[in-house]
């Protein structure tokens, strides 16, 4: 049996952020030394107890204090990010980690996060954005020029211009890409349907009160 961690994290809001991040890094180093196989790092913007707006930045730092543990975004909330940004950041992180990376994605989050980014949850906008975003991320990772026009995103991956030293280059370290996991909060989650359709990993949580 393999053991892993889910780092939301949870800290008292009055504590200095730098102090809690160092504490979390110490936890990563200790878990790695004990043989824990992976850690998933949350993403939140308006939760004072969970001060982790960028799991990628934390993971990049944690790579330096661990040797074998893998890290996953737990999760990247794709409706808050342009897919081209996510594709590049995760690919870069995958190279920094030499393959110790998972891409966890989801469309949830507290209502205050959603309000911050001006999204409409009533019309299912976060979930629709997730579907479009993950398809674009995978298309970008194919590395071939293409144009896209969808409900939420428009653009194109242009042809390379060698004489000007221009062109896409940030393919992931892992081939064809890092393993993908999708978060869902119930057995009937519509978001988890994509897991079965594409053979990805399901992610969920169990909160005890």
pLDDT tens figures, 185-195: 777 777 888 89
Closest CA to 110 of 58, 152, 48: 48
Contact 93, 156 (CB under 8 A): no
Separation of alpha carbons 60 and 25, rounded Å: 11
Name the token pair of 146.
């293409």
Burial class (CB in 10 A: 0-12, 13-18, 19+), 143: middle
> pLDDT tens-digit profile of 164-180?
999 999 999 999 999 99
- The per-residue pLDDT for 184 is 86
Map residue 183 onto helix, strand or coil. Answer: strand
> pLDDT tens-digit profile of 70-121?
999 999 999 999 999 999 999 999 999 999 999 999 998 899 999 999 988 7
Q: Which fold has domain 4-203?
A: TIM Barrel (3.20.20)
Q: How many helices (H) and strands (E) would you count in the chain?
A: 6, 9
Report DSSP state, residue 80. G
Name the token pair of 97.
């980690």
Separation of alpha carbons 158 and 161, rounded Å: 9
Name the token pair of 19.
């102090």
Integer CA distances (angstroms), 171 to 8, 73, 94, 134, 177, in order: 28, 18, 9, 15, 8
Q: Does position 208 have pLDDT exceeding 70, yes or no?
A: no
- The per-residue pLDDT for 125 is 86
> pLDDT tens-digit profile of 116-169?
999 887 767 888 999 999 999 999 999 999 999 999 999 999 999 999 999 999
- H helical segments located in the chain: 17-33, 55-62, 83-97, 111-117, 125-142, 193-198
Contact 63, 32 (CB under 8 A): no
Separation of alpha carbons 4 and 36, rounded Å: 5
């Amino acid at each position: 049996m393999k053991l892993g961690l889910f780092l939301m994290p949870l800290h008292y809001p009055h504590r200095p952020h730098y102090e809690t991040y160092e504490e979390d890094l110490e936890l990563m180093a200790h878990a790695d030394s004990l043989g824990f196989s992976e850690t998933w790092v949350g993403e939140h913007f308006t939760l004072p107890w969970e001060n982790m707006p960028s799991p990628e930045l934390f993971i990049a730092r944690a790579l330096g204090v661990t040797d074998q543990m893998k890290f996953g975004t737990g999760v990247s909330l794709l409706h808050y990010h342009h897919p081209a940004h996510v594709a590049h950041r995760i690919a870069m992180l995958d190279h920094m980690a030499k393959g110790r990376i998972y891409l966890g994605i989801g469309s949830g989050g507290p209502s205050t996060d959603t309000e911050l980014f001006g999204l409409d949850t009533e019309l299912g906008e976060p979930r629709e954005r997730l579907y479009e975003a993950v398809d674009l991320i995978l298309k970008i990772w194919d590395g071939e020029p293409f144009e896209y026009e969808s409900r939420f995103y428009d653009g194109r991956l242009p042809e390379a211009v060698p004489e000007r030293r221009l062109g896409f280059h940030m393919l992931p370290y892992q081939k064809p890409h890092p393993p993908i996991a999708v978060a869902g909060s119930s057995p009937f989650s519509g978001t988890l349907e994509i897991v079965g359709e594409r053979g990805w990993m399901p992610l969920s949580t169990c909160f005890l009160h």
